[in-house]
Structure 1
């Protein structure tokens, strides 16, 4: 924030007010930052200030540094005496002496940061740690550097924050916030120039406590009036809206491709999230009053966490099960089968409502355990294919959820259903991921979070006008917004996660160099090369998911299947047909159409309440392999292709219990590569085709989407960090594989809506893949907005 020196006065004051708002709101909740410094303040392009890394709470060992402003932080457990706490240049005198720290340490650090914004220099400097601490304890800032144009009241504010005796220092950030408020600094006190003469230290130290006390009385009196006149729907303790950010430990990434990765506790003080560490997703608990997260043992493979109403338990999904665990990490219990879950919620009657698969309804089970029963039923007359993301309304025994009639954003609707009577009402057309807080219904539509006044038992929103409240990232596979809200209005959402953006189709060589096809930039999701290498099919998201044909020689793009949502295309071995998943009338089954676009599509399967995805055609063209996800989990099946589609019957290859998917037959027809998370992490395996036979693990640190190139001497797969790996293979009488190596690097798009995110050229020298135009690294931050719900109804 301050690498280029002092900031303009107006910008400084705008930033200072937002920092003060954030600290004041945190103090009201009993949270002390203890490590405020420029390195922990981020300003967005829109001028929104985010205070990062709230709650320093563990003892860490400081390392050698060259820049104290952003140096490693020396910490201690909250208020524990005897250990230095805080980054050296911004420590309060009491911290420098190793004494207990309270919220007045944040006031001191705020003064240091404000001084630095105004002067471009740190308030307390030195060549080493000893000199810096000595300056803090005995020295004074260089007041001659203070800008003459700054109002006298600003100088007095900084001085009041930097009084060494904390008993005489400004006592609270609410006082600082009051002094920075528009009505205060717009008057003559704030607008006048700073005085040249320095007030005597004794005068400052005596005057500030008196002034602070009077201001505190004024603030309390004003707060009382505001509470009296506040609308009844607003909480009495509502404070200023302020932002902070949770930064994951180095190397961790949120696991959010098609699952909500985090949740906030009902009281808004704690966040639980699912993160990848060493390739394994597990749950971490982060109190806003602490600096470091706590890993919850026994949660390997976890996704989509949610809190119990009292905040004492966390529900989540792992290993194909709905589970719960106490926040202390004890009493882990499996409750029900959930092989491919899409959300859960815990209501005040101690019932958990959850969607066990992506192709079905919402079920319920007692949080104490027992038999799960179906709660909702799909309305086939409306073409519903799935009910997802249930959300219990506190104290109302009403469940909100998303009803899907297809994969497009406009095919998702917000519905409420009574937990007592089963009475159901459609509330929003074209919305997903509902939530309820402060007498408002929240929902997502594309990249926007909307709010509309509503409260059960209302059955209609006729006449109500939704208001866009924020732009948030969407889950890639879900068109669902990645956010959560506490009962008292704290909002959490992903920071840095991309929503759907324009992409390009590129060739990538082994050095990582890319060559883009001259196609229009669109929301491409995946690309599959034809057997002769002359054409490719791209999957495009346009509200619906459609398929387009690419002529690689002419670099042209023409529509192939655009009359309904169609996904996961696959060429037949001879290149004459394309097989794909089509969503038609509430069914998500397999279809086939001539590659030249002639004729009508032919339905290959017909099964309700499942999602089917073609993954491979055997080299002889006899068998089609496909994933089938349903209430029992995901299984691999094979379908005879040379039999009349009306009489052909699929054969089971891998039951759901084996947790296998994406089977791909080798070029010689002897081996089957597939992925499975039976070990707790997704890995790539090979076994004889059609089987049975011994199974060989190929990947070593996780892998998915296996692909055999044309030469058959290598097996490619995607690593968990989005690199294409390669293992040399021997496919004689027995199968063997080398240790995998990185074959192609770069940040590319991976869509779980497809059967493969990439393809390999005929000579195996290049990769054909969808590339994000503005690629981002893995998501490593969660943004938190305290008192966010106080904005509802104001726009």
Structure 2
């Protein structure tokens, strides 16, 4: 339903109750973006169709781009994360109730819902033992926070930190003692997105990387000595490495733009995306330095991107196969409805008391 409301421009306040204007308007149920426009003369035009949920499929892609399906299930998936044993897959699923985390059993092809409150719970990250999932949550009823719970749903969620901003889980160190995540500086014009470290199972978050630029998508290396991340410090997104826990220098891994960094489980290669291109960089690490080869194109295809800078894919145990998400084609709107004189419905509404 599309509503309109009168405004008092002198007071910058709402000056009446919402009035229904049109039903069944084509819209994104999560962002609220709707397909309509109107003129000063009171002519409204909109595309019908109601809430449009995108159907996406999970597929496996090898290093040459060959494709095979994972499951026949079609949902609005994003943020796939393979469990350490590669038998399960944590996913965020979006619907008209918000974002929730589900777990896919890849051997039995079952999809089980883990979170139930229809909030904004997304981008789940496995602990190294595969027993728990850490996720960022910002449902309307509570402060945005990082939570964790058993991957089989056998316990209740436990808050790890409450930031009041927008924490997004990145990765857990191989020894399970530290969580790397991104959070926003609450000060407008401040440091933007920064990378923080949170001791597990409890502790206070500490800044890892705070600059005037944005940093996001922190991913621990398999040996725990490095963190890969994305920054826009050059004016475009690029992938970098820094030592953990630091201090130390930084190494730019991508050369012509890149984000969504994921490590090869062997620790000697990093993957990242540059638009529709899947890139790979071979690495050689010494005690405190990294030598990176030139990025190599593996394949190029229009697989879905998720949250900015955070990987919307994962990598198999041998580094030879990628788990990607692909949107299914959906028909474009073929009809536009026109409503004349809808301003008159607003003018008939009596002004609020005291006006």
TM-score range, shorter chain: 0.7 to 0.9
Matched, 1:724 2:278: yes
**1:670 and 2:229 correspond:** no
Contact 2:44 2:340 in 1 (8 A): no
How far apart in 1 are the matches of 2:100 and 2:270?
29
Alignment-derived partner of residue 696 in structure 1: 251
Using the alignment, how far apart are the partners of 1:685 and 1:707 within structure 2?
12
Unaligned 5+ segments in structure 1 are: 1-409, 426-456, 494-498, 777-784
Other structure's SS at 2:138 match:
strand
Cα deviation for residue 744 of structure 1 reads 3.4
* Residue 115 of structure 2, aligned match among 561, 572, 595: 561
Partners of 1:629 and 1:594 lie apart in 2 by 27
Find out whether 1:578 has 2:137 as its counterpart.
no
Correspondent of 1:637 among 183, 189, 196: 196
The within-5 A match list for 1:3-152 is none
Match of 1:509 among 62, 71, 74: 62
Q: Give CA deviations for 1:343-371 in whole Å, capped at 9, x if unaligned.
A: xxxxxxxxxxxxxxxxxxxxxxxxxxxxx
- Equivalent pairs counted in the alignment come to 326
Are 2:146 and 1:587 aligned?
Answer: no
Equivalences for residues 775-794 of structure 1 within 5 A:
791=340, 793=342
Name the CA distance, whole Å, in 2 between partners of 1:636 and 1:417.
41
Q: What SS does the corresponding residue of 1:615 show, helix, strand or coil?
A: strand
SS in 2 for 1:657: coil
- 2:304 is matched with which residue: 729, 738, 749? 749
Corresponding residue number in structure 1 for 2:104: 550
Asked whether the 8 Å contact 2:26–2:35 carries over to 1, the reply is no
Secondary structure of the 2:247 match is coil
Partners of 1:761 and 1:623 lie apart in 2 by 23
Change in 2 beyond 3 A, CA 1:504/1:709: same
Shift, 1:772, TM fit: 1.2
Q: Does 1:601 align with 2:157?
A: yes
Q: Equivalents in 2 of 1:674, 1:743: separation in Å?
A: 20
- Number of the residue aligned with 1:206: none
Are the equivalent residues in 1 in contact too, given 2:259–2:309 (CA < 8 A)?
A: no
Alignment correspondent of 1:218: none
The answer to whether the aligner puts 1:529 opposite 2:73 as a matched pair is no
- Does the Cα contact within 8 Å between 2:21 and 2:342 map onto a contact in 1? no
2:49 aligns with none
Alignment of 1:680 with 2:235, yes or no, is yes
User: 2:181 matched to 1:618?
Assistant: no
- Using a 3 Å threshold, how does the CA distance of structure 1 residues 515 and 485 change in structure 2: closer, same or farther? same
Matches of 1:537 and 1:527, distance apart in 2: 6
- Does the CA contact (< 8 Å) of 2:53 and 2:95 recur in 1? no
User: Counterpart of 1:480?
Assistant: 33
2:352 alignment partner in structure 1: none
Contact 1:528/1:538 (CA < 8 Å) preserved in 2? yes
Question: Structure 1 731/481 Cα, relative in aligned 2: closer, same or farther at 3 Å?
Answer: farther
> Aligned residue for 1:650?
205
Mapping of 1:453-472 within 5 angstroms?
457=15, 459-461=16-18, 464-468=19-23, 471=26
Please say if residues 613 and 755 of structure 1, whose CA atoms lie closer than 8 Å, have aligned partners that are also in contact: no
Matched-pair contact (CA < 8 Å) for 1:747–1:775: no
Structure 1 residue 564: Cα displacement: 3.2
Distance (whole Å) between structure 2 residues aligned to residue 619 and residue 539 of structure 1: 23
Shift of 1:593: 0.3
Segments of structure 2 that go 5 or more residues without pairing to the other structure are 47-51, 344-355
More strand by share: 2
Hey, what's the Cα distance between the residues in 2 that align with 1:729 and 1:696? 11
In the alignment, which residue of structure 1 is the partner of 2:349? none
* CA apart distance, 1:712: 0.7
Greater RCO, CA 8 A, separation 6+: 2
Contact between 1:524 and 1:538, CA under 8 Å: does it hold in 2?
Answer: yes
List per-residue Cα deviations over 1:755-783 (Å, max 9, x = no partner). 4201000011111121112289xxxxxxx
Task: Give the distance between the partners of 1:416 and 1:656, measured in 2 at CA.
Answer: 43
**Kept after mapping to 1: 8 A contact 2:44/2:339:** no
Q: Which residue of 2 aligns with 1:356?
A: none
Contact 2:91 2:123 in 1 (8 A): no
Aligned match of 1:435 = none
CA distance in 2, matches of 1:656, 1:478: 29
On the 8 A contact 2:6/2:17 being kept in 1, the answer is no
- 1:466-492 CA deviation, whole Å, 9 max, x = no partner? 3148646x5x97342477667578999
Q: Distance in 2 between matches of 1:416 and 1:605?
A: 41
Asked whether 1:758 is paired with 2:313, we answer yes
Q: Distance in 2 between matches of 1:583 and 1:686?
A: 29
Q: Secondary structure at the match of 1:596?
A: coil
Q: Return closer, same or farther for 1:414/1:756 CA change in 2, 3 Å cut-off.
A: farther
SS in 2 for 1:527: strand
Q: Is the 8 A contact 2:4 2:21 kept in 1?
A: no
Cα gap change, 1:416 to 1:752, in 2 (>3 Å): farther
Alignment match, 1:297: none
Mapping of residues 735-746 of structure 1, within 5 Å: 735-746=290-301
Query: Could you tell me how far apart the structure 1 residues matched to 2:298 and 2:11 are?
Result: 57
Of 709, 714, 719 in structure 1, the residue corresponding to residue 269 of structure 2 is 714
Structure 1 segment 147-296 matched on structure 2, within 5 A: none
Q: Alpha carbons of 1:469 and 1:564: their partners in 2 closer, same or farther (altered >3 Å)?
A: closer
Residues 421 and 749 of structure 1, relative CA distance in 2, 3 Å threshold: same
> How high is the TM-score relative to the length of structure 1?
0.38
- Aligned-CA RMSD value: 3.2
- Is the Cα–Cα contact under 8 Å of residues 567 and 753 in structure 1 kept in the other structure? no
TM-score normalised by the chain length of structure 2: 0.81
TM-fit CA distance, 1:526: 2.5
Query: Match of 2:350?
Result: none
The answer on 1:518 being equivalent to 2:77 is no
2:215 pairs with one of 647, 653, 660? 660
